[in-house]
Amino acid sequence: MKHIVYLLLSTFIYLPLSAQKYMTKNGHISFYSEAPLEKIEAETNMASSVFDRETKQIAFVVPISSFQFEKPLMQEHFNENYMETEKYPTSTFKGRVKGYVEEKGKQEVVAEGELNIHGVSRKVNIPGTLEQKEDSIFIQASFMTLLKDHKIKIPKLVFLKIAEEIEVKVNFTYHLYEN
């Protein structure tokens, strides 16, 4: 886990460390797929993320194998057959939060950047909300992604069990980063 956090922080290495950076090591990400024969849900609390209030840059990394499923066999198939976790162990996002202003309260924002899943990067615009409190920042977002956009292949034998479009939800609670 430490190497993932270091990888994430290295994304911001060129930025001077300041009191503007917020971090989480236990961000929550879930996804949901509803196909004619089966619903698939998984979640993780192991996403690491950094948000820089000054530059509005944001990045996260999530270990794919950390997603937990209700059925162990689903988790095994997810990691081995679809996500190829040994080859692509993490998913990442790097971008900027548009619409953010430094004031307390909830605000509508859009994260614009590169989402990398299964080794394939795509430009995305992810709408969400950002709420700033005294010493914490909360970010929530929900978006849809297509498996084909990330070259995730579904065998014809199971196409009625796995939807081509997946709903992803992100909930991060950031705290001031102190080095």
The single-letter DSSP state of residue 164 is: S
pTM given for the model: 0.85
Spacing of C-alpha 168 from chain mean position: 8
- Mean pLDDT (the chain) is 86
The model's pLDDT over 55-91, given as tens digits with 9 standing for 90+, comes to 999 999 999 999 999 989 889 988 988 899 999 999 9
Sketch the domain layout of the chain as residue ranges: 2-13+24-176
Banded model confidence at residue 168, pLDDT cuts 50, 70, 90: very high
**Region 95-119 average pLDDT:** 94
User: Please, which pLDDT band fits residue 35 given cuts at 50, 70 and 90?
Assistant: confident
> Is residue 45 a contact partner of residue 26, using CB atoms and an 8 Å limit?
yes
Lowest mean pLDDT among 79-83, 146-150, 159-163, 164-168: 159-163
**Tell me, which fold does domain 2-13+24-176 have in CATH?**
Lipocalin (2.40.128)
